[in-house]
Structure formats: structure tokens, C-alpha cells
Amino acid sequence: MSLRIACDLDGTIADMDAALQREAKRLFGPDVDLHAASSAPIESAEDVEEELAVEAAGPAPASTATGRPLSQAELRKLWSQVRKIEDFWRSLGEIEPGAVGRFSALATRHRWDVIFVTQRPSSAGDTTQRQSHRWLQTHGFDMPSVFVNGRRGRVAHALSLDAVIDDRPENCLDVVTDSKALPLLLWRRSPDELPLAIRQTGIQIVPSFGAALDHLEQLTAERQRGNTLLGRVRKAIGL
């Protein structure tokens, strides 16, 4: 049986972080830094959605922040502006150039079932789903499926997924809690910065999206070996 895989978009393959940083500098000046220590927690449901979207790209280490933080009012203004930009989600770059195309080629070769999941807020133009769909096609993924939902664990459980690729530790913990899928945490920062809760789980850590694809290929090879007659015999006798 082929692998059933879910893949996050922002911070995993799509560079939302750079797009937001450019827009923040355009609005508030060249000295702002989206990753600088910022304000108090946002309270309303709408603002929580926006805060999650900002975090989806994965905050950089505090030591890399070189400018001033956005105020709460500026953060809201930034997202208000993003919502007005025509097809904002189609304008993002690819974090690892060529990775989406490679993912598509491997999915075809190994007969993987792939769904992309995101929690992006809406912007002007097409729906978030259609913008995401077209972005994936532009970057080389043929006939993508996109689901807009924030709970990775529920999606993994409902679809009986084998693996979930995500750059957010909390999303990977959600997968562990709510499903039997293997979470692949894409962690481009230092291993020393991993949350303690992640270190105490069996979550697989990968340093790049390319490494995540390598791991999925290994899982595919292991599953194919297990499906042979010899593999089934070895499994039956515990070898």
C-alpha cells in the first residue's frame, strides 16, 4: 500500500515569512523585524488566526532579530493589508527551490497519496484554497489537493495518514496525540533550540524538506520489503 502523506505549506515549503517581512517594511519602515520580541498575546478569535498565520513560517531565533518589533496595532494593520492584496498567497517564494517539483515527481513514482494542509487567513482575489492550489501547480506539483484546517492531528486521524510534514512543534505533537501518523518535524534551526517536549517524543526531526522526502522514500522502501513473502514471514515470526 502506498503512503498517505499530509504536508504543511507556510514555513515548510512556502516562504510566507519573507513576504510578510517585505510588506511590514513597506508599511512601517526598514527598521522593523517580524521576528523581534513582540507584544502581549492576542485575545480575539480573529486575531488568534492571524497570530497563528504569522507563526506558521516559524519564528527565527531571537539572536537573529536586528530591528524593532511590530506593535500589536502594527501587526493587525499588517494583516489587514495582507487581506487586501490580490492573490497574496500566490506571490510567495519557495523556501527550497525545486523541492515542490521533486515532491510531485516522487509522489508519482512511489504512488503516494498527498494532501496539503494550511490555516492561512483569506486575502483578496481567489479563495485561500484556490490560491494555494495554483501556487503548488506553479512550483511543479501536478494536480495538488489542498485542505484548509488548523488541526493536523484530526486531519491525520480522519484520513488514516501515514506521515505529516510540518515545521511547527505543536502541530507535530498534535499529530502524535490524535493519530497514528508519523510526524516529520522540519527544524531548520539549531537542535539545541528544540522544545523539551519534542525531545521526549518519538517525533522524527529533519533539517530540510529535502531530508523529509528522503525519509519518506526510506519508509516506502521498508514498506515494500515488508510486503514481499519473505517480509511477511519475517514479520510473522518477529524478525
pLDDT in tens, 99-112: 999 999 999 999 99
Q: In the prediction, which pLDDT does 233 show?
A: 37
Q: Is residue 183 located within the same domain as residue 147?
A: yes
Of 73, 89, 105, the one marking the end of a domain is: 89
For the ranges 13-17, 25-29, 160-164, 195-199, which has the lowest average pLDDT?
195-199
Confidence check: pLDDT of 52 > 90: no
Confidence band of 150 (pLDDT split at 50, 70, 90): low
Percent of the chain scoring above 70 in pLDDT:
82
Q: In the prediction, which pLDDT does 167 show?
A: 95
Q: Which of 6, 2, 54 is nearest to 151 (CA)?
A: 6
Q: In the prediction, which pLDDT does 222 show?
A: 92
Name the DSSP class of 195: -
* Better-predicted residue by pLDDT, 15 or 46: 15
- 3 state DSSP class of 94: strand
Q: Is residue 102 located within the same domain as residue 85?
A: no
Q: Is residue 56 located within the same domain as residue 104?
A: no
Q: Tens digits of per-residue pLDDT, 53-108?
A: 444 444 444 445 678 898 889 999 999 999 999 999 999 999 999 999 999 999 99
Q: Which of 164, 114, 160, 163 is nearest to 140 (CA)?
A: 114
User: From start to end of the chain, where are the E strands?
Assistant: 4-8, 14-15, 93-94, 113-118, 146-148, 163-166, 182-186, 204-206
pTM of the full structure: 0.84
The DSSP annotation for 22-82 comes to HHHHHHH-TTB-TTS---SPP-SHHHHHHHHHHHTT-PPPGGG--SBPPPHHHHHHHHHHH
Q: What is the mean pLDDT of the chain?
A: 85
Q: Which of 65, 45, 61, 58 is nearest to 17 (CA)?
A: 58
Q: Tens digits of per-residue pLDDT, 194-228?
A: 988 888 787 999 999 999 999 999 999 999 887 64
Q: In the prediction, which pLDDT does 35 show?
A: 80
* Better-predicted residue by pLDDT, 57 or 21: 21
- CA 39 centroid distance within chain: 24
- 3 state DSSP class of 120: coil
Range of the domain at 207: 4-13+94-236
* Total domain count, the chain: 2
Q: CA of 109: how far to CAs of 2, 113, 115, 146, in Å?
A: 11, 11, 16, 20
Q: Is residue 25 located within the same domain as residue 9?
A: no
Q: Is there a contact between 83 and 124 (Cβ–Cβ < 8 Å)?
A: yes
Q: CA-CA distance, 40 to 89, in Å (whole number)?
A: 27
User: What burial class does residue 130 get, using C-beta atoms within 10 Å of its C-beta: 0-12 exposed, 13-18 middle, 19+ buried?
Assistant: middle
Of 28, 54, 89, the one marking the end of a domain is: 89
Length of the chain: 239
Of 58, 89, 120, the one marking the end of a domain is: 89
Q: CA-CA distance, 191 to 182, in Å (whole number)?
A: 19
Q: Is residue 9 located within the same domain as residue 20?
A: no
Q: Is residue 36 located within the same domain as residue 135?
A: no
Q: CA-CA distance, 149 to 119, in Å (whole number)?
A: 5
Residue pointed to by grid coordinates 490555516: 119
**Cell digits of residue 16:** 510566507
